[in-house]
Amino acid sequence: MDATLHIPINAGWLEACLLATVRITAFVVIAPPFSYNAIPARIKGMLAIGLALAMTARLPARAVSDTGPFVLSLLLELVTGAALGLLVFIVFSAVQAAGSLLDTFGGFAMAQVFDPQSMVNGAQFTRLFQMTALALLFASDGYQLIIAGLVRSFDAVPLGGALDLTHPVTAMTGALTQMFLASMQIAGPLLVVLFLADAGLGLLTRVAPALNAFAMGFPLKIMLLLALGGLAVMGLGHVVAGMVAGTTAHLAEVGSGG
């Protein structure tokens, strides 16, 4: 009686699963909210493997490749996942840029510290906006739309296929422009208030030079920023929803080839 245990392994399925895992892992490591360092690496790995297993079930069967072509396919999947993750990262950097503008013009920039979890070097409003945006992504199920955009990339760019880098670069250029525009839309009203405060102090100094009104500049701007900063935080919900829609549109644009 033969007691040997035979476990059939489909080499084509295993190769497709490995390639999908590499693309999804590169995306998860770079793209928010999954790139947040407070999420354990074990959870990120389990998420990448789980998504890869789900994707492999709906992907067409692959022919088994030799070692050289398989390694090249791994590198192509790494570049594809990293490019898509970088595109999402650029879009959501608008929230961090808006907080940095408020810290700079409001007088908090001197209290900058490095946050190793979010990998952000900023002061209070930079980190507040960053954490609020991450919380809203999970609370509003926006991360599911980002994952859906990643899933659609497998239909547009098959496993082992070369990604035309012209389309990601074009999308990143547009995303960078939108990032600056969105950051000004978030922080713009408060920046106008801070500018008017500086202008008012300047006029007061011209009227009464001995008063030294600029000595009140820092406490006045900090008070205004703390008093009105809650309005900007309350508006982040609509901003994050728009960013999620923009991210899925950019991912679809890259996948469709422009």
CA nearest neighbour of 150 among 42, 6, 21: 21
> Closest Cα to residue 238, out of 120, 132, 90, 85?
132
* pLDDT at position 147: 86
Alpha carbons 163 and 38: distance in angstroms, whole number: 31
Amino acid at 65: S
The per-residue pLDDT for 9 is: 66
Q: What is the pLDDT of residue 257?
A: 54
Six token digits for residue 123: 């002061």
The two three-digit tokens of residue 232, written as one number: 């900007």
Of 86, 106, 97, residue with least CA distance to 194: 106
CA distance 215 to 256: 57
pTM of the model: 0.78
Per-residue model confidence (pLDDT) at position 164: 64
Structure tokens belonging to residue 41: 């690496």
The pLDDT of residue 3 is 54
Contact 13, 58 (CB under 8 A): no
Residues with Cβ within 8 Å of 53's Cβ and at least 6 positions away in sequence, in order, are: 17
What pLDDT, on the 0 to 100 scale, is given for residue 25?
Answer: 92
Bridge partners of residue 120, in order along the sequence: 115
Quote the pLDDT of residue 1.
Answer: 45
Exposed, middle or buried, 38 (CB in 10 Å: 0-12/13-18/19+)? exposed
3-state secondary structure of 115: strand
254's CB contacts (< 8 A; 6+ apart) are: 83, 84, 87, 153, 156, 163, 167, 168, 171
Q: What is the residue-level pLDDT of the chain in tens, covering all 258 positions?
A: 455 656 566 777 788 888 888 989 999 998 888 888 878 888 888 989 898 888 887 877 666 667 777 788 888 888 888 888 888 888 888 888 888 888 887 777 777 777 776 667 777 788 888 888 888 888 888 888 888 888 888 877 777 666 666 666 777 777 777 777 778 778 777 888 888 887 887 787 777 776 676 677 777 777 888 777 777 777 777 778 888 887 777 777 665 555
Residue 243, Cβ density class (10 Å: 0-12 exposed, 13-18 middle, ≥19 buried)? buried
The position carrying tokens 């906006």 is: 129
pLDDT reported for residue 162: 63
193: which 2 tokens? 């208030």
